[in-house]
Structure 1
Amino acid sequence: MFSNPIFIREALTSPRQIRHYLIRSGYVAAIFILIFTAGQTILGTQQIQTTTIGEFARLGNLIFQMIAFLQLLLVLFFTLLFSAGSIAQEKDRGTLILLLMTELKDRELVSGKTQSSLLVVYVLLAASIPVFVFLYLLGGIELSQILWMELLCLMTVFATGSWAGLVAFWREKTFQTLAISVLGMVVFLGVVELIVSLLGAHSAVRPFIAGLDPFRALYEILNPLSLNTGLQPVSISAWPSLISLFVLGFALKAYTVLRLRVWNPSRSVYKATPKEETEEVVTKEQARTIWTNPVIWREIMTKAYGRKIYVIKLAYFLLAGFTLWAAVTSDAVAEGTLYLGVIPPQGLAFAGIAWLSLVLANTQAVTSITSEKDSKTLELLLVTDISAREFVLGKLGGIFYNSKELILTPILILVYLISQGVFSTEGFLCALIGFSALMIFSVVLGLHMGLTYDNSRSAIGGSLGTMFFLFIGIGIFMILLVQARSSFALQLQSFLVFIVVGSAALHSALTHRNPSRALAISAWLLPFLTFYAITSFLLGGTLGVLITILFAYGLPVLAMYIPAVSEFDVALGKTTFDKG
């Protein structure tokens, strides 16, 4: 890998960018802010002199478990995003064909593109090691746990990057690449858990099959006593998982190398050979009628997002059905378990499916713009008579139409849950309206990011990263609030630090190119209002939560949508005014 010219180029050029240092330092700073917030939540205003060794150990263990799980989640997300996005961008720009024409071997091309795109992920893993060693000083964890956790994350990067690279070299459209990568990974983890549940506890292959799920392996690393019930010394090992993930990643990469020149160049690159002119009269087929808004006609009536979009929708339906079935038939339903004290298992399944729908809709929105930019077709649209309003509304209409399954499926699940008595009528209406508001926000956010960023990777990363960190932050907040429920007023200061940092990051993402007062206000208000909505929800509120969500996410929607349709030239940094 270190002799690969593609990887060497990325390793030499990436550190020169200021973004490289900002990502690395920002990640470490975010971890320390999380440590501070969790420490204040657990220890409160207790003086350090009166804190016992056991309390420090409990704090270190809890923070280590939280950050380890968060890091594994980040590794999966960013590996899929960077690996698939980098290769998809090469295809959209037509530069992958140039790489195929060089003297690079197939394995060098596949390994170089895959590993070079993951350089940032490797740097983040290396930067996190000193932080975990710092937690080791608090007690409650072992150095072997840190070592196995880092190795597990590293091998997860290898396997996930191989999968994302396979999909990216296989599919033509960026949206298909990202959607299949995410859905395929989630479906794979579900299948692994299903197979593990069917295998016997004493099966010889069970540890290796279970090792394909990195979250299960991480749980065993973080909770070694769960596997050592006897009096023998506790041992921590993740060898089965490391071996399984390595074999999986190697197999995926080998298959990609074998199929590289079969999949690429795609058939859309080839042009039909012109036939010799004859005197025969050729009857032309009747042209299709184009609607008043040609943009929405193209989005709906043509295969703008690829030829096999139904594969993505089928995988989504299967995943949604399996998730709901697993939640309904789980033992937690019979036992009446409420997660975080308020969420039933069926509600948690709905939240997961809804989050996946929001991410996929956001992906479709941002790639609808970046694909136009990479293929140079946006330049052609700018010289036509299409107005800014027609373009934006056409894109929005096409996105909502193509995402109709992503919108209707969570709604149908809500209808099923209210018929089973899981939700009240008020809760159903609040969840329905709230989900609709978040769906509009995710789509408009993707459109805004696509118009704002010139670089496709930055646009996709900024859009999906905003969605990811926003909802991951909500989950962390809910966990910490439950931990600090008895002394919430005393811990408000620590939560405010986390909120202010999140507001600053959101402000930087939304106002990257065209800062405005409305975007700044909405970016700074959104985390604070979301925090209020979370606390109200945990206290059993419904209507107040809905009103807060509508205002918190409706304001940025207006702040992003109005400039897009009224200041289209400013958004793109170009001019579409008629000079003649």
Structure 2
Amino acid sequence: MQSRRRWRLGPGPVFAWEWLTGSRRWQLYAGRVLFGMVLLLSIWAVWERFAGRVMDLSVLGQLGTSLYVSYALTQLGLVCLVTPAVTSGAICQEKARGSLLHLLTTDLSDAEIVFGKLLARLVPVGMLLATGVPVLMICGLLGGLDPNAVLGAVAVTAGTALLCCSGALMISVWARKPHGALMGAYFALTMWLLLVPAGEIVALFGLSLMGGPGGQPSWLPVLFLLFEPGARLSLGMPPSWLAPLHPFWMVLAPYSAPGTVTLADQLRFLGLSALGSGVMALVSVRSLRRVYLGQLGRPRKATKYLRLPQFGRRKPEQGLGGRGWLPGPSLDANPVLWREWHRNAPSLPQRILWHIFVITSVVLYLPLIVDAAMPGRPMLSEWLLGVANGFTVTYGLLLLSVSSSTSMSEERARGSLDILMSTPLPTSKIVWGKWWGAYRGVLFLALMPAAVAVLLGVKNLKVLEPTLTIGLILSQGAILTSLGVLLATRIEKQGRAVGLSVAAFGALSFGWPLLVVVMGLGTGPRQRGLEALLLQAPWYGSHRLLDPMVEWTSYRSYGWRYDNAAEILTWGAIWLVLNTMLAALLVARTLSGFNRHLGRMDENPDYAGRATVVLESGPDLPLPQGPTTLAPSAARQT
């Protein structure tokens, strides 16, 4: 029997279809314009800092260096945030819609399906990279920019995009839901970016046992090495052998550590990235059909391993009336929240990711809690508090930005949201049930930072600093939760909603601090004022208010103090109020537009009262004339 499959030249029909449909969407061009505007904004911020100075050769050199650093960090950071969100749902969304089975029954080969989807997502990323090169080259006419460094930065960023896209696509082949694929992609990316800082922490910890390198104190801020390759050289230490594997190190080394990285090294990074991307793509091709046919029609097996703590959850043998060992929401008060709390169990890969996150947080916080709880014992250092709070809050909010938007968008894709909207439940209970179901993750990730803040407050007899720190973490989580639910309500496509939610997290965590730092580098009152603006960044605001208490307990022999503590506390209270107001505004927008965007009729109190009379008095009374709710399909037919 002759095979139905035949060889085709070119990218294949899958790429042609994906690119044809994608090129007709306005979001593609809007994203490209937005990417260019962000790059121009970063360049403008650098120019504003040098606008009033005399442009001699030294100042022009500093201007070129600042332009390059701002451009490289902005471009590489956006690529790391956007590419997993764009690619992780490539296969999972086809699984959810059932169209992947149709593709596998055609004469298309597995390679055409995988490489077609991969190329369709790499081409827009390549266009984004080509957007910023002419702008930076024009700025190079002022001097201070090395063309080889610019080309090397583009090569490293392109290699990073290849690895992110191929890795996210491979995870999408094995994952069952886009939610799990996206979380797995960001977890793998985070582990890759933390590889070099983790090695540096281990190295400096060993040096601290010997008194530190070159007589320097052992409490140096090690995470600074992530963005400053020259920090090792300033300590008299050679570059780490892990450094060529880190994209940020390879991009910033031409200016931060001249002579350690050349254009050939950056092109070698691109070649190795292309090789790794090809290997992951081949793994995806070989496993696509086997994995999907194995998952098709087979429900996810329940496992007793790696279960999350039963925070108020009822065991199956307890039924609806049983109680967990911690209080949980009531079924009568809000059935949607009860279902989110008890029945939406995460998959095994998601449980693995959460357990790794919990274990890492416990390892980071355990020495801090021990030092803060024992009187008279000095804290390890200020930077360890920043590392622990920064990692826990930032990575936890990243997971929250994913889960808050997928909680409702997955139900829209499955059609179960239509069933929920056809019930007599009011819209407010549906929205608040989804909101609290996603926001409970914030309460979980804020547990360890709150414990350290409370212990430091008790030790130093302070109340305002711990309260504002905990409030900032909770309010920032409320903003991301409210925005994720709003995007899932307004945007039908799940990948687009998740991508915008993650982009909002990136803007809050990295875009805002980068803009503030670029505009505020220098000395004087301007820098002190801009430092207060940095409190809105989760990785900075989660520990900045506690730093004076850490220094009081550990650095009293050095005589270090903060002279702007009152100003920082005032700004912390201002940010707390603004975050709360913004979160409330987003929830109000969700409630006001939920029925209109999802095709549900507004609740009529007259119908609700007449339906109650029918239930209480019997079938003789007339039924209400008209439905109280309509699913989107019924609303369209009407």
Structure 1 length normalisation: TM-score?
0.77
* Structure 2 residue aligned with 1:390: 429
* 1:150 matched to 2:154: yes
Q: Which residue of 2 aligns with 1:38?
A: 46
1:26 aligns with 2:42: no
Q: Distance in 1 between matches of 2:429 and 2:181?
A: 28
Aligned to 2:335: 294
Shift of 1:544: 1.6
Higher mean C-alpha deviation, range 141-150 or range 307-316: 307-316
Structure 1 match to 2:18 = 10
Whether contact under 8 Å (1:211, 1:240) holds in the other structure is no
* Greater relative CO (CA pairs within 8 A, separation 6+): 1
Unaligned runs of 5+ in 2: 1-8, 204-231, 233-238, 301-315, 322-330, 370-377, 546-561, 608-625, 628-638
Q: TM-score by structure 2 length? A: 0.70
**Which structure has the greater CA radius of gyration?**
2
1:80 counterpart residue number = 84
Shift of 1:93: 2.2
Distance 1:347 1:271 in 2: 42
Cα distance in structure 2, aligned partners of 1:383 and 1:548: 42
Instruction: Please report how far the alpha carbon of residue 412 of structure 1 lies from its aligned counterpart in structure 2 after TM superposition.
Output: 3.9
1:438 alignment partner in structure 2 = 476
Distance verdict in 2 for CA 1:415–1:215, change over 3 Å: farther
Counting only pairs closer than 5 Å after superposition, residues 155-554 of structure 1 correspond to structure 2 as: 155-191=159-195, 194=198, 209-225=242-258, 227=260, 237-265=265-293, 267=295, 269-270=297-298, 288-289=319-320, 291-292=331-332, 293-321=334-362, 344=383, 346-401=385-440, 404-415=443-454, 425-486=463-524, 488=526, 539-540=564-565, 541-554=567-580
Flag the 1:51–1:5 CA change in 2: closer, same or farther, 3 A.
same
Say if 2:486 and 2:589, in contact at 8 Å, map to a contact too: no
Counterpart CA distance in 1 for 2:108 and 2:80 is: 28
Cα distance change of structure 1 residues 325 and 417 upon mapping to structure 2, 3 Å threshold:
same
Q: Report the alpha carbon displacement of residue 80 of structure 1 after superposing the two structures with TM.
A: 0.8
SS in 1 for 2:425: coil
User: 1:156 offset after TM fit, Å?
Assistant: 0.8
Larger deviation, residues 365-374 vs 100-109 = 100-109
CA distances 1:233-263 after superposition (whole Å, capped 9, x unpaired): x876324423432333222222222221232
Q: Which residue of 1 aligns with 2:586?
A: 560
Alpha-carbon distance in structure 2 between the residues aligned to 1:110 and 1:238:
28
Alpha carbons of 1:487 and 1:436: their partners in 2 closer, same or farther (altered >3 Å)? closer
The amino acid of 1:320's aligned partner reads S
Contact (CA 8 Å) 1:163, 1:249: kept in 2 or not? yes
Query: How far off is 1:337 after superposition?
Result: 9.2
Q: Deviations over 1:449-503 (max 9, x none)?
A: 11111222221122221221122232114413541443739x99xx9xxxxxxxx
Q: Which runs of 5+ in 1 are unaligned?
A: 229-233, 273-284, 329-333, 339-343, 496-526
CA contact (8 A) 1:207 1:241 kept: no
Secondary structure of the equivalent of 1:118?
helix
CA contact (8 A) 2:89 2:182 kept: yes
9-18 vs 66-75, greater mean Cα deviation? 9-18
Contact 2:48 2:519 in 1 (8 A): no
Q: Secondary structure at the match of 2:137?
A: helix
| Secondary structure of 1:488 counterpart | helix
Displacement of 1:569? 1.1
User: Which position in structure 2 is the counterpart of 1:520?
Assistant: none
> Alignment partner of 2:272: what SS?
helix
Note closer, same or farther for the CA distance 1:345–1:89 as it changes in structure 2 (3 Å cut).
same
Deviations along 1:393-429, whole A, 9 cap, x unmatched? 22223223456533324434545766898x9653222
For the structure 1 residues 400 and 35, does the alpha-carbon distance in structure 2 shift closer, same or farther, using more than 3 Å as the test?
closer
Counterpart of 2:411, as a letter, is E
CA distance in 2, matches of 1:104, 1:412: 56
Name the counterpart of 2:66.
62
SS at match of 2:297: coil
* Counterpart Cα distance in 2 of 1:305 and 1:30: 36
Query: How many equivalent pairs are there?
Result: 508
